[in-house]
Amino acid sequence: MQWVYHNPVFDVDYVHPSIRLSSAWVGHNHFAYDFIRFMKPKKVVELGTHYGSSFYSFCQGIKDEQLSAECFAVDTWKGDLHSGPYGENVFEMVSYVTNHCYPTIGRLIRSTFDDALHLFEDESIDVLHIDGYHTFEAVSHDFETWLPKVSKNGAVLFHDIAVLDRDFGVYKLWETLKKQHPYLEFSHSYGLGVLFPKGYDNKFQDVFDKKEELQRKYAGSNI
């Protein structure tokens, strides 16, 4: 199976175009979309959603590929020390866009990450995106506690692997993990790491063989 570079139309852009275009995730939207269409997961879970740029990219991929899949967003929608606090209007906006664009796909879980763990069976999550509080301790905890929920051949995505300032520590965890497991990584848009901690489907071998091509292609898709 060949990797396909799509030219997607994101439904969220018709409803609220600033969500994607003003997001730190904007440079990864096209990769996330293509990744979902290539991998064809049954369950996607995102830890830390804020306005939903990455979440909607996953949902759009599921929708356009016509997958029988669900995409869950887990967040308190209250903010943290890195994002800063924000009001109820953010959750209301995410709820509106999700219900309007992805009513049968998107699922919002307003909860801490730890409190949401019991909602998912072990080895049931095909794609896990970790983008919560970004200290080394916090992201390590999120990875360790949610890893049992990841399926065989599942993928774990980490945003901000290229942020070295403030007290961000995702890069520290990423440097350790990528020495232990197969991975893809991108340095643009604050960095994105894609880890396969429990193996990978054979169709990904071709993707690993052209890592540099993917990096070049998606580094130029900041739209």
What pLDDT is recorded for position 82? 62
Domain ranges of the chain: 19-219
- Distance set, CA 177 to CA 81, 104, 126, 204 (Å): 25, 34, 18, 18
Closest CA to 40 of 53, 16, 22, 58: 58
**CATH number belonging to domain 19-219:** 3.40.50.150
What pLDDT is recorded for position 223? 46
Show pLDDT as tens, one digit a residue, over the chain (223 residues): 899 999 999 999 999 888 887 788 889 999 999 999 999 999 999 999 989 999 999 999 999 999 999 999 999 998 666 666 677 888 999 999 999 999 999 999 999 999 999 999 999 999 999 998 889 999 999 999 999 999 999 999 999 999 997 888 899 999 999 999 999 999 999 999 999 999 999 999 999 999 999 999 999 765 4
What pLDDT is recorded for position 79? 66
Contact partners, residue 138, CB within 8 Å, separation at least 6: 132, 169
pTM of the model: 0.94
What pLDDT is recorded for position 7? 96
What pLDDT is recorded for position 158? 98
